[in-house]
Amino acid sequence: MEEKIIAVTRGDGVGPEVVDEGLKILKLIAKFTNFDFKFKDAPAGGEVYKKYGNNLPERSFDIIKSADALIFGAVGLPDLPPGVAETAILRIRQELDLYVNLRPIKLYEPLRDRCPLKDEFIGNGIDITFVRENTEGLYANIGNISDDKAENLMIYTRKGCERIIRYAYEFAKTMGHSKVTSVDKANILKPSQLWRKIFHEIGIEYPNLQKEDFYIDAFCQWLIREPDKFQTVVTGNMFGDIISDEGAFLIGSLGMASSGNIHPGKISMYEPIHGSAPDISGKGIANPIGAILSVKLMMQESFQSPAIAKEIELSVEESLKEGRTIDLQNPDIKNLTTKEMGDLIAEKLKLRLKT
């Protein structure tokens, strides 16, 4: 029996709605495999801030630090000033040194009808993994604000660049990719110049992988123009945040995209890339697949179970032919609530795990 403690931060808005569907999948895995999960609530975010004046109470953070993995919903409330809830994520990423933000963007075959691109642009399909640096850059939290002036320092260290770029090359090698793409703004930003230099220095150790660089602005159009040309894409913190939301809509909806905030070998955090979606929260219509695929990443990355991870992914893909939440609407396919979507995927997974 493999016993694992999973910290659960449901968060705000649609966070709790989608996390509950992720937990449904974990409970099923516990029932049909040799994993045994113990769940511990670690509340954080805007609602918690309103109660305790702190978006990440020490009690919650202690639970997170002593867990084997963390599943996280989303934080942020429209009636709080920007940042009041959101800094909870940054604190977790910084203090646990979760330097890798792995963000796969894969267009599942049944969702081709929801891809906003014409077939000629989709080409051979979309299957990209963004490897986003997750602790430095503009997110290093070095800044000041007054009424007259506000500043953030964009900082990249050699150590910070080396470890994420090496991770990306290793990831590409493991996945059997032929190429690694780096996205920066080296034509203007000093940290990007260091980044690009290190990308090529480390690249020498991977002679079998092609290397290519793009500036972020042009990359944004290439991502739409020829998404099938990309496999592993490594980039800085801010650029990675933006291009992963762009990528998420290419695969049908922001609600489809998952992520792992990873420090290899240590506690890592798994979350859908979307936010608390105040425009749809409380209605039970949010797409839970980003959260469910985050559980897939947890099984794959933290618990070294690629076979279970694959079964989750196949269950998602299969389910999308039969039912979908409203963001993926198709008149020929049944419209489901968040909970019904989770149930359908769980039903498929149950059949797969039983056999």
The residues that are catalytic are: 139, 185, 217, 241, 245
CB of 59 to ligand NAD, least distance (A): 20
Separation between Cα atoms, residue 101 and residue 107, nearest integer Å: 19
Residue nearest to ligand NAD (CB): 76
The torsion angles phi and psi of 171, rounded to 5 degrees, stand at -60, -45
CB of 336 to ligand NAD, least distance (A): 12
Separation between Cα atoms, residue 230 and residue 177, nearest integer Å: 10
CB of 245 to Mn ion, least distance (A): 6
Q: Which residues contribute to the site for ligand NAD (CB under 6 A)?
A: 14, 18, 74-76, 86, 89, 253-255, 271, 274-280, 286-287, 290, 327
Q: List CB contacts of 3: < 8 A, sequence separation 6 or more.
A: 36, 37, 38
- Complex with ligand IPM: residue 73 or 110, whichever CB lies closer: 73
Say if CB 328 and CB 288 are below 8 A apart.
Answer: no
- Complex with ligand IPM: residue 26 or 89, whichever CB lies closer: 89
Say if CB 175 and CB 129 are below 8 A apart.
Answer: yes
CB of 185 to Mn ion, least distance (A): 18
Q: Is 241 in the site for Mn ion (CB under 5 A)?
A: yes
Please give the radius of gyration of the chain, using alpha carbons only, rounded to the nearest integer: 20
- How does 240-275 read in b/e, with b if 16+ C-beta sit within 10 Å? bbebbeebbbbbbbbbbbbbbbbbeeebbbbbbbbb
Length of the chain equals 355
Q: Which of 21, 86, 318, 327 binds ligand IPM (CB under 6 A)?
A: 86
253 binds, among ligand NAD, Mn ion, ligand IPM, none (CB under 5 to 8 A by kind): ligand NAD
Q: Is 89 in the site for ligand IPM (CB under 6 A)?
A: yes
- Complex with ligand IPM: residue 21 or 241, whichever CB lies closer: 241
Q: What residues line the site for Mn ion (CB under 5 A)?
A: 241
Interacting residues toward ligand IPM by CB under 6 A:
86, 89-90, 241, 273
